Structure 1
Amino acid sequence: MVVKRGDKFPTNVSTLFISSPEGEPKPFDLKAATKSKKFVVVSVPGAFTPPCTNQHLPEYIQKVQNFASKGVDFILVVTQNDPFVLRAWKEKLGATSNKILFVSDPYLDLSKKLGSPIDLGGLGLGTRSSRLALIVNRSGIVEFVADEKGGDVNVSTASKLLAKL
């Protein structure tokens, strides 16, 4: 892994995108969005994939208020999929809270800085972000957990991350 507990969270990524309220992709300024914030990053291999859709993200969506009660400003969901797909996925998951942001990392620039890309070419998916979660407080990484293989949802669950806050 490239990052670990105690490292500074990499905010110098200019190739992230988010869906605007109108549905159009727009650049996401990671540095501005995270400045002086306490936030959680959840990186997943792909929108609409069974483990991400059925196991991983629903718990974060259900427990968003639990994170907020622990001082977390927002949860940042990062994956390679484009902003149009992420908007549809967010709607499908019922993630209506403005405390959950779905961010596209199309070139895996943030994922590479976190040390998480994995080769899922054998599944027809190409190179993707692996499954991981971080707690970041004022740009410092205070917790980092990764499910190295990408398919399993074990150590990066919402419950396990909440227990570390």
Structure 2
Amino acid sequence: MASLVNTLASKVAEAIPSIKEGSTIPSGYAIKEDNPEQATVDLGKLAGKNLIIGVPGAFTPPCSSHVPGYVGSYDKFSAKGIKDIYIVAVNDAFATQAWKEKLDSKQPNVHFLADDTGAFTNAVGLGFDATGLLGNARSQRYVAVVENNSVSQLFVEQAAPDVKVTAADHVLSQLK
């Protein structure tokens, strides 16, 4: 198991995101939230100041310890001007909704999204090959602060299991 985690870490470190501060979030990549048959959320068309959080996988231990910091701190993020928080996982909608329930997230401004084909994740250049451990390509762990469709800040972990620069407290302290 340790060797697979190390392999994932090295693959993430090799990946270079195509989005960066100042980039525009691509539109036309609808993602599923509540309906497993219909994609309804286009992250490239968000108004205001929002967070997009990419995670490698619903129910994985690092992700299940990462996301509750955002759910529990929504009011603090809101006080800094954040309208909504979008958690994006390359999983199916059944998995992301079950994960939302397992994490007991009742915060209406925190959205759990299924990028089931990985199209959005690939469009922003933040995917990596996780077939050895998770069975398919997944998202790197990142947080993008997006203001009216433009990335104002971007935090990307160097290794998939890490939750350091993308931890809720760290991002909250760095918000401009």
**2:39 alignment counterpart:** 27
Aligned length: 159
Specify every segment of 5 or more residues in structure 2 that has no aligned partner in the other structure, as ranges: 1-16
Specify every segment of 5 or more residues in structure 1 that has no aligned partner in the other structure, as ranges: none
The one of 102, 106, 113 equivalent to 1:103 is 113
**1:18 alignment counterpart:** 33
CA separation of 1:114 and 1:61: change in aligned 2, threshold 3 A? same
**1:149 alignment counterpart:** 159
CA contact (8 A) 1:81 1:106 kept: yes
Deviation at 1:164, TM superposition (A): 2.2
CA contact (8 A) 2:25 2:43 kept: no
Moved over 6 A (4+): none
**2:55 alignment counterpart:** 44
Deviation digits for residues 60-93 of structure 1, max 9, x if unmatched?
1110111111111100000111111111100110
Q: What TM-score do you get using the length of structure 1 for normalisation?
A: 0.90
Superposed CA RMSD in Å reads 1.6
Q: Percent identity?
A: 29
Deviation at 1:160, TM superposition (A): 1.5
**2:149 alignment counterpart:** 139
Q: What TM-score do you get using the length of structure 2 for normalisation?
A: 0.84
What's the secondary structure of 2:166's corresponding residue? coil
